[in-house]
Amino acid sequence: MLSQASSLRRASRPANQGHFASGTRRPLLAHIAKSFGQLDDPAIRRVIWFGVGMAAVVFVLTWLGLSYLLDGQVSTGYAWLDGPANWLIQVLGAAAVLIMVWLFYPGLVAAFAGIFLESVADAVERRHYAALPPARDPSILEGVAIGLRFAVTTIALNLLALPFYLALPALNLVLYLVLNGWLLGRNFYEIVALRRLPPEQAASVRRMERWRLLNAGVVIALAMAVPVLNLLAPILATILMVHVFHGLKSVQMLRERSDKTLVFPNKIG
């Protein structure tokens, strides 16, 4: 494990990067443009309808569930005051539901992302990284486990951050994007990286490349917060993260320094 970490540290230093070197220098905007550019891929289009439908169902169920929990009538003891009081409660309740849906949506969508995004990652690699050997095929159970762990963490941390969102109106958006950018960057990185790297190696790369992954995660968090675009966000996030992953300097150097069958096996373990 020590030698592996040392190898990864060496891999992160500037060196002759060969065929894949240009990917490191490509700005994140280029990866974003490629992500939108692949939405016309027939393999991606087949997934879009399922992904959009799943995202819409998650959104509606979250809305209905929170609306039910926050629904209720109050009595002030004064008949003339009950109407305005309940109207105000309904308005505040609707605002609370909107806020909670906004907070919970990324975590709930990403919880199911691993189920269908494997085919998206495969399509991206077929078009842009065809020289690589086939990736490992993670099980549905593995994808669900990653997603559920991410959903619980995301919901819990956003609930803990809720007082700060409300108390810091000038900084709440920045806090939201940084927190969820970190979470989403990590989650979609794992979805992509574990197809190609053993868990320990994927974790080492994640730690070294945490700032690049945070940048990508913030972009994903922004997409999750934009109406309509958020329905496509899980698919776009996966496409983006495939490009980001293969553009990471440490990943490129690992590919060059190691036997492909060791670093990029068809089956791990």
- Cα dihedral 179, 181, 184, 186, rounded to 10, equals -90
Rg over alpha carbons for the chain, rounded to the nearest Å, is 21
Higher confidence at residue 68 or residue 49? Answer: 49
Identity at 208, one-letter amino acid code: M
Quote the pLDDT of residue 240: 96
Q: Each residue of 81-123: pLDDT tens digit?
A: 666 776 776 676 677 777 777 777 777 776 666 667 788 999 9
Going from N- to C-terminal start, the domains of the chain cover 28-258
Q: In whole angstroms, what separates CA 264 from the centre of its chain?
A: 22
Q: What is the pLDDT of residue 22?
A: 41
Q: How far apart are CA 122 and CA 43, in angstroms?
A: 9
Q: Give me the percent of the chain exceeding a pLDDT of 70.
A: 74
- Cα–Cα distances in angstroms (integers) from residue 242 to residues 119, 173, 198, 266, in the given order: 12, 26, 16, 17
Tokens for 224, please give them. 């999750």
Q: State the CB neighbour count (10 A cutoff) for residue 129.
A: 15
For the segment 187-196, what is each residue's pLDDT rounded down to a tens digit?
899 989 988 8
| pLDDT score recorded for residue 73 | 62
> Structure pTM?
0.75
Query: Burial level of 103, CB count in 10 A (0-12/13-18/19+)?
Result: buried
User: In the predicted model, is pLDDT for residue 261 greater than 50?
Assistant: no
- Per-residue pLDDT at 5: 47
